[in-house]
Amino acid sequence: MTAVNVLDVTRGHESTAANTFSLVDDPPVVVRAEGATLFDAAGREYVDLVCGSAVSNYGHGVLWQREAIEAVLQSGYLHTGTRLPSPFRADFYACLSEILPRTLTHFQLANSGSEAVEAALKVAQYATGRSGVISFFGGYHGRTMGALATTASAKARRGFDARPFNVHFFPYPYTARSPFPSAPGEELGSACLEFLRRALENPASGVVGVSALIVEAVQGVSGVVVPPKGFIKGLRDICTEFGILMIVDEIWNGFGRTGQWFAFERDDVVPDLVAFGKAASASLPLSGVAGSVDLLGQWPPGSHTSTFQGNPLSCAVAAENIRQAKKLNLIERCREWVEPALRDIGEAASDVRGVGEFRVAGAQLGIELQTDSGAPDKERVAAVQRAALRAGALVYGGGWYSNVLMLVPPLTISAGEMSRAKEAVMRALEETA
């Protein structure tokens, strides 16, 4: 099938809810990928600074992933369901338990990030007998109805009624667009914590019957919003004080994206539940929830299940990803090489008109774009994305106000690919200035 046919068939049959044609009318049809480079049908190259929405943490064409898949294919047993144990699933459990806090020993697997959030909300409700949930401004937790109820984005919620879910949204310390302008810089985290504490103490706040608090230790989709040090630890203390289960959503950040295995390690906290996905397999559908035996070892069989959870192909790749990331020191590489390289791009971008600030957290860079008056510049982000595509780089757009240009490369990106990425992004920023 030619590239033209691929586009025509896709356009003729795909739901308009998909993002395939949201940026350009004729996106490149990728036929091959290696490392951080994509190749389209015409042989053009693109540096991948999106990674399938932070999925392909270890790049493309990864030999160990191919070998893990081949091992499952040779067994001929491609689907086990949940009524029989699987050596591939057990192997993933063993590897996963080695990189999580020692109290998080039990896992409920699923297929997508949204499903993982749904499972976390369900087990919290089952364990506490309460249905209230605390979420945060800018929080992004998925698109299925329960996950959507905890997602703060007006764009994501438009057209859907999430009112049956008892969710309360609280300020997140986003210093560039502060919810408390009178609390600058590092004080913003304390102000947000104090506001939450007072609401939980106030019998007239309407915040009652809370089972869980769900939060991202770094808001990825929302523009690489990095909270002040101590904010996540403060949330942990509040959850413990008020008997609320703490769910940390690591779907975007987990498995090395922030330069740690999980972003909550930045504040040295242990959540009650951890939702993970995306880079767990870094290739195939796989997600899940990690928790203690007191939470995930108590609900009866069949309380929550999914036909394809723990698929052997996905689990085999995910287990091997963990082993190879350790062997190749990829988490350290992210922290010691990829993050400084992205910071260099951010510093160069700061000299271009319309760039407000940049934020780096491991292998993710957010560049805040604004008008001359300081207002969020949503239109500029889309223009930069298109210009970068012409220059040979695929870049991401996100943010509370859809005004943040984001670079989300693989942890394995080479120096040459990073150099090409910088050249394309800078050209796009300057072209649209």
The SS3 assignment for 407 reads strand
Residue 159 has pLDDT above 90, yes or no: no
Q: What mean pLDDT do residues 97-121 have?
A: 96
pLDDT number for residue 156: 78
Q: What is the average pLDDT score of the chain?
A: 94
Q: Domains in the chain, start-ordered, CATH in brackets?
A: 3-61+329-432 (3.90.1150.10), 77-327 (3.40.640.10)
Whole-number pLDDT of residue 17: 85
Using pLDDT thresholds of 50, 70 and 90, give the confidence band for residue 152. confident
**CA 113, 121, 207: angle at the middle one, nearest 5?**
130
pLDDT at residue 369 greater than cutoff 80: yes
Cross-strand bridge partners of residue 431: none
Q: How far is CA 54 from its chain centroid?
A: 6
HSE-up of residue 28 (Cα within 13 Å, Cβ side)? 24
What pLDDT was estimated at residue 163?
A: 58
Task: Read off the pLDDT band of 344 (50, 70, 90).
Answer: very high
At 409-426, the pLDDT tens digits run 999 999 999 999 999 999
* Nearest C-alpha neighbor of 138 from the set 166, 107, 110, 179: 179
DSSP string, 57-115: TT-BS-HHHHHHHHHHHHHT-----SSS--HHHHHHHHHHHHHS-TT--EEEEESSHHH
What per-residue confidence (pLDDT) applies to 343? 98
Residue 381 amino acid letter: V
Which of 35, 47, 54 has the alpha carbon at shortest distance from 280?
Answer: 54
| Residue 279 DSSP code | G
pLDDT score for 366 = 98
φ and ψ at residue 393, rounded to 5 degrees:
-145, 140
Q: What pLDDT score was predicted for residue 429?
A: 98
Q: What is the pLDDT of residue 161?
A: 65
Q: Compute the C-alpha angle 400/332/313, nearest 5°.
A: 75
CA separation for the pair 407, 143 (Å, rounded): 23
Q: What is the SS3 string spanning 409-426? A: CCCCCCHHHHHHHHHHHH
Q: What is the mean pLDDT of residues 13-24?
A: 88
Bridge-based pairing of strands 106-110 and 45-48 is unpaired
- Asked if residue 204 has pLDDT above 90, the reply is yes
Asked if residue 320 has pLDDT above 80, the reply is: yes
387: pLDDT strictly greater than 70: yes
32-89 per-position pLDDT tens digit:
999 999 999 899 999 999 999 999 999 999 999 999 999 999 999 999 888 899 999 9
Question: What local confidence, expressed as pLDDT, does residue 162 receive?
Answer: 61
C-alpha–C-alpha distance, residues 318 and 312, integer Å:
10
pLDDT tens digits, 261-275 = 999 999 999 999 999
Average pLDDT over residues 84-104: 97
